[in-house]
Amino acid sequence: MRKKTAEEYLETVFEFEQTSGHAHTGQIAERLGVKPPSVTQMLQKLKVEGLVRYSAYTEVTLTKKGKDIALDLFSRHKAIADFLQVIGVDKTMAQHDACEIEHHVSQMTTTQLKRFVEFVEVCPQSPMWLEHYKEYSKSGKWRQCCKK
């Protein structure tokens, strides 16, 4: 089973659990743009892995193990999206790219991205290098003090 695909299913079930307490095969299929039989097949695999509670024609919920994975993915997603926005990527693109990246980045990288974003947000004043970067990002021109 492909890791990214399984993780996308876990995230989707988690999102539905947050709003209605459970997910249904049809909802998952619609959200992921796949056919319901594909969802059923994946849910059966995830059940064998101990990640979901599922029986045919019933609700789908995450096990503790499945929920832990989903929470980790959401944490990664947020860290990546926040970082991308700090460096000037617009919110919509940052969210889209974070969905792609979150499945391939290490925990160490995620931790460092979170720390960087937190540092930038908590710093008493916006660091000059960040302001210079924003200027460079928009214009493509180096400030005199930043020339290579």
**Rounded distance, CA 107 to CA 64, Å?**
20
| Domain boundaries for CATH 1.10.10.10 within the chain | 3-62
**Rounded distance, CA 75 to CA 111, Å?**
10
As separate numbers, helices (DSSP H) first and strands (DSSP E) second, the chain gives 7, 2
Chain-centre distance of CA 92, in angstroms?
A: 13
Q: At 108, which amino acid appears?
A: M
Q: What is the pLDDT along the chain (148 residues), one digit of tens a residue?
A: 667 789 999 999 999 999 999 999 999 999 999 999 999 999 999 999 999 999 888 899 999 999 999 999 999 999 999 999 988 899 999 999 999 899 889 989 999 999 888 888 877 666 677 777 878 877 777 766 666 5
**Rounded distance, CA 86 to CA 103, Å?**
21
Pick among 3.20.20.100, 3.40.50.2300, 1.10.10.10, 1.10.510.10: CATH of 3-62: 1.10.10.10
| Domain boundaries for CATH 1.10.60.10 within the chain | 74-139
Write down the pTM of the prediction. 0.80
Please give the CATH number for the structural domain made up of 74-139.
1.10.60.10
Closest by CA to 78, choosing from 1, 31, 11, 23, is 11
